[in-house]
C-alpha cells in the first residue's frame, strides 16, 4: 500500500464555500428540457407539465443555480417565441443542434420550474444573432415590475411579480467558430461592454458574466480573456470558463488527473484577469464563473447531431452513460473548484438531465441517478463554512498528459459543526493509506466516512440497476490523537466528516 500524509490547519483558509459552486445547466439540447424536466404526458407530471420525480432528484442533488437556455442554443434563440399562449408559439429550427424546438417550454415555464426546484435562475442572452436591444427586452420581461411593454407582457402571461434574475451571461462561447454569430475578441468585447452598460441602466445590481474561452486548448486562450476584459472590465463581474476535455480515451491514468487541467485553466484565467485589472488601474476584481464543466465523451455516436432534412424534436443527444471512474473525476473536479473558491464564485455542471447529466429519465418511465450524481450531491450537501488549503505529501503517479501528479488530491471545509474532507485516490492500481493531522480543527471523532469505488471501475448505473455501486461506509477511517487515518482504494472518491 502507498502512504500519504497531510496537514489541515484552521488558519489556512482559501475563502468561503460558495453555494453557487453547486450550480447546473439546462439547455434546449436533446432530451434535457423535453422528456427531461418537462414531459406533460408523464404519469408524474404536475399541472405545469413538470416531472415531479425529476424535481425530487434535483433537490436531492443539491443544485443551487441553473443556467438557461444555453449553451450553443442561445446564440440563435428568440426568447419571445417561448412566451404567451402555447398554441400560438412557433416551432423553430435549432441550428446549434440540428433539431426543432416547439417552444412549448420557455422563460415562464423555466421560472416556474426553478421556483419548484428551489434554485436560483441564471439567464443567458443571445449575442450571436441578436444584440443589445433583445437583451434589454428580455431583462425588462424578467425583472421590471410593470408599466412597460415587456413587463406588462409578462403580467399578461400569468406572472404578476418580476422574476428578479440577478446573474446574466452575456452570450455563450463567442470565441468558438461553431457558435452562431461567432466573433473576434475585439468584436465580442465591445458588444459585451455595450450590452452590460445598457442592462445596468435598467438594473444596476445585476451580476454579469462575460464569455471567456470555450476551453484551454483554444488557440486564442489567454489572449481572448485579455482582449475581452480590456473592453469590458469595468462593466462585468465574472468571466466564464468552460471545460469538457475530460474523458477516458484509453489512458485512465491521465483521465484520473483531469483536475490538473482545471487547476491550470482557473489559475491562467485568474492571472489574466488580474493583469487587466492592473493595466486598467481598477480596484475591483473580476472573478470566474466556471459555468460549463463535466466529463463528456465527445467522439461517441450519441454526440453527433442529426443532419440533412432530419430536424427532430428532442432527439437523443449527448446521453453519456457514466461509470465509476467518471464519478471519481467529477468528484475531483469539484475538489478543484472548491480549492479555488477565492476566484471561482460560481460554477455549473453541464448538464442537469439526460444530456451529459447526473440525472437520467425514460420517456413516460422512471428517473434515475448516474454514478456522477453521488459525489456532487454529497459535496453540495456537506461542504460548508470555509475552504481549507491542506499541505500534502504524497507519492506520485505518472501520466501521459500531465507528467507526474500526486496520487491523492484533497480539499477540506470547516464550520462550527466540524470539518469535512473530500479526497480522491488517482492511482489506477494501488490503494493509499492517508494520515491526516487535524489537531487544530478541534474534532474528536469521525461522524461519517464513505467511499465510491468498485473493483470494476467501468461499472455503469442503469434504469434497471442504479444502486449496486453507491458510496459505501469506509470502516478503515479512524481518529486517534488528532490524526485521521483512512485507506483509499484505487480509483476512488471519499468523503470523511469529522466533529466533536
pLDDT in tens, 15-69: 999 999 999 999 999 999 999 999 999 999 999 999 999 999 999 999 999 999 9
Q: What percent of the chain stands above pLDDT 90?
A: 98
Structure confidence at residue 253 (pLDDT): 97
Q: Is the peptide bond before 198 cis (omega within 30 degrees of 0)?
A: no
CATH architecture for the domain at 2-9+387-499: Sandwich (2.60)
Q: Say whether pLDDT at 173 is over 90.
A: yes
d(CA 318, CA 144): 36
CA distance to 290, 342, 373, per residue, from 18 (Å)? 13, 9, 19
d(CA 292, CA 30): 17
Helix, strand, or coil (residue 94): strand
Compute φ and ψ for 256, nearest 5 degrees: -65, -20
| CATH 2.60.40.1180 domain locations along the chain | 2-9+387-499
Q: What is the DSSP letter of 93?
A: E
Which residues fall within 8 angstroms of residue 207, CB to CB, at 6 or more apart? 166, 167, 168, 237, 238
What is the per-residue pLDDT across 229-240, written as a single tens digit (0 to 9) for each?
Answer: 999 999 999 999
Q: What is the mean pLDDT of the chain?
A: 97
What is the band of 301 on the pLDDT scale with cuts at 50, 70, 90? confident
What is the band of 337 on the pLDDT scale with cuts at 50, 70, 90? very high
Which residues fall within 8 angstroms of residue 177, CB to CB, at 6 or more apart? none
Under the phi-then-psi rule, with left for phi > 0, alpha for psi from -120 to 50, and beta for the rest, what region is 364?
left
d(CA 231, CA 323): 43
* Mean pLDDT in residue range 292-298: 96
Which residues fall within 8 angstroms of residue 257, CB to CB, at 6 or more apart? 397, 399, 401, 402, 405, 426
Q: Say whether pLDDT at 302 is over 90.
A: no
CA distance to 9, 222, 310, 314, 332, per residue, from 294 (Å)? 30, 21, 28, 21, 11
What is the per-residue pLDDT across 208-263, written as a single tens digit (0 to 9) for each?
Answer: 999 999 999 999 999 999 999 999 999 999 999 999 989 999 999 999 999 999 99
What is the per-residue pLDDT across 186-210, written as a single tens digit (0 to 9) for each?
Answer: 999 999 999 999 999 999 999 999 9
What is the per-residue pLDDT across 70-85, written as a single tens digit (0 to 9) for each?
Answer: 999 999 999 999 999 9
What is the per-residue pLDDT across 86-143, written as a single tens digit (0 to 9) for each?
Answer: 999 999 999 999 999 999 999 999 999 999 999 999 999 999 999 999 999 999 999 9
Under the phi-then-psi rule, with left for phi > 0, alpha for psi from -120 to 50, and beta for the rest, what region is 49?
left
Class level of CATH domain 18-382: alpha beta
Angle (CA) 411-412-415 rounded to 5° is 155
* Mean pLDDT in residue range 456-462: 97
What is the band of 394 on the pLDDT scale with cuts at 50, 70, 90? very high
Residue 21 · residue 66 · CB < 8 Å:
no
What is the band of 303 on the pLDDT scale with cuts at 50, 70, 90? confident
* Mean pLDDT in residue range 332-356: 98
- Looking only at the bridges linking them, the beta strands covering 403-406 and 92-94 are unpaired
Catalytic residues: 173, 292
- Looking only at the bridges linking them, the beta strands covering 238-243 and 207-210 are parallel
Compute φ and ψ for 322, nearest 5 degrees: -90, 145
- Looking only at the bridges linking them, the beta strands covering 418-425 and 408-415 are antiparallel
What is the per-residue pLDDT across 310-327, written as a single tens digit (0 to 9) for each?
Answer: 999 999 999 999 999 999
| CATH 3.20.20.80 domain locations along the chain | 18-382
Amino acid at each position: 500500500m502507498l502512504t500519504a500524509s497531510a496537514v489541515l490547519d484552521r488558519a489556512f483558509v482559501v475563502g468561503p464555500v460558495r453555494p453557487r459552486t453547486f450550480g447546473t445547466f439546462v439547455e434546449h439540447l436533446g432530451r434535457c428540457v423535453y422528456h427531461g424536466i418537462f414531459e406533460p404526458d408523464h404519469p408524474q407530471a404536475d399541472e405545469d407539465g413538470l416531472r415531479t420525480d425529476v424535481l425530487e432528484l434535483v433537490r436531492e442533488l443539491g443544485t443551487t443555480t441553473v443556467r438557461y437556455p444555453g449553451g450553443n442554443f442561445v446564440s440563435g434563440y428568440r426568447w419571445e417565441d417561448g412566451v404567451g399562449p402555447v398554441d400560438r408559439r412557433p416551432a423553430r429550427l435549432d441550428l446549434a443542434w440540428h433539431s426543432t424546438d416547439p417552444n412549448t417550454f420557455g422563460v415562464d415555464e423555466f421560472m416556474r420550474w426553478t421556483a419548484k426546484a428551489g434554485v436560483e435562475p441564471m439567464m443567458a442572452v443571445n449575442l450571436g444573432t441578436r444584440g443589445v436591444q433583445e437583451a434589454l427586452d428580455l431583462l425588462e420581461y424578467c425583472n421590471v415590475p410593470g408599466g412597460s411593454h415587456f413587463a406588462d407582457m409578462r403580467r399578461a402571461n400569468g406572472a404578476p411579480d418580476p422574476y428578479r434574475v440577478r446573474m446574466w451571461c452575456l452570450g455563450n462561447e463567442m470565441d468558438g467558430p461553431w457558435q452562431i454569430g461567432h466573433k473576434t475578441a475585439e468584436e465580442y468585447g465591445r458588444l459585451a461592454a455595450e450590452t452590460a452598460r445598457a442592462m445596468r441602466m435598467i438594473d444596476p445590481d445585476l451580476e454579469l458574466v462575460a464569455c471567456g474561452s470555450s476551453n484551454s486548448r483554444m488557440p486564442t486562450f489567454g489572449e481572448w480573456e485579455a482582449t475581452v476584459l480590456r473592453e469590458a472590465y469595468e462593466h462585468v463581474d465574472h468571466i466564464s470558463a468552460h471545460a469538457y476535455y475530460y474523458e477516458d480515451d484509453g489512458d485512465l491514468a491521465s483521465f484520473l488527473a483531469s483536475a490538473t487541467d482545471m487547476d491550470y485553466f482557473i489559475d491562467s484565467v485568474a492571472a489574466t484577469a488580474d493583469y487587466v485589472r492592473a493595466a486598467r488601474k481598477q480596484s475591483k476584481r473580476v472573478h470566474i464563473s466556471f459555468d460549463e464543466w463535466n466529463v463528456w465523451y465527445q467522439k461517441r455516436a450519441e454526440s453527433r447531431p442529426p443532419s440533412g432534412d432530419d430536424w427532430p424534436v428532442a432527439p437523443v443527444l449527448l446521453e453519456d452513460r457514466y461509470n465509476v471512474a467518471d464519478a471519481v473525476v467529477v468528484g475531483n473536479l469539484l475538489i478543484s473548484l472548491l480549492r479555488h473558491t477565492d476566484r471561482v464564485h460560481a460554477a455549473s455542471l453541464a448538464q442537469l438531465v439526460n444530456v451529459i447529466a447526473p440525472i437520467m429519465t425514460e420517456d413516460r418511465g422512471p428517473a434515475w441517478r448516474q454514478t456522477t450524481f453521488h459525489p456532487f450531491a454529497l459535496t453540495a450537501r456537506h461542504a460548508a463554512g470555509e475552504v481549507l488549503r491542506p499541505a500534502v505529501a504524497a507519492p506520485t503517479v505518472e501520466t501521459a498528459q500531465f507528467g507526474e501528479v500526486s496520487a491523492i488530491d484533497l480539499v477540506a471545509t470547516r464550520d462550527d459543526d466540524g470539518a469535512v474532507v473530500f479526497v480522491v485516490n488517482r492511482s489506477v492500481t494501488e490503494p493509499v493509506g492517508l494520515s491526516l493531522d487535524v489537531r487544530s480543527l478541534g474534532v474528536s471523532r469521525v461522524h461519517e466516512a464513505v467511499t465510491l469505488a468498485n473493483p470494476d471501475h467501468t461499472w455503469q448505473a442503469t434504469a434497471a440497476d442504479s444502486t449496486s455501486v453507491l458510496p459505501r461506509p469506509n470502516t478503515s477511517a479512524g481518529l486517534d490523537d488528532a490524526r485521521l487515518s483512512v485507506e483509499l482504494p484505487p480509483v476512488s472518491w471519499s468523503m470523511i466528516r469529522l466533529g466533536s
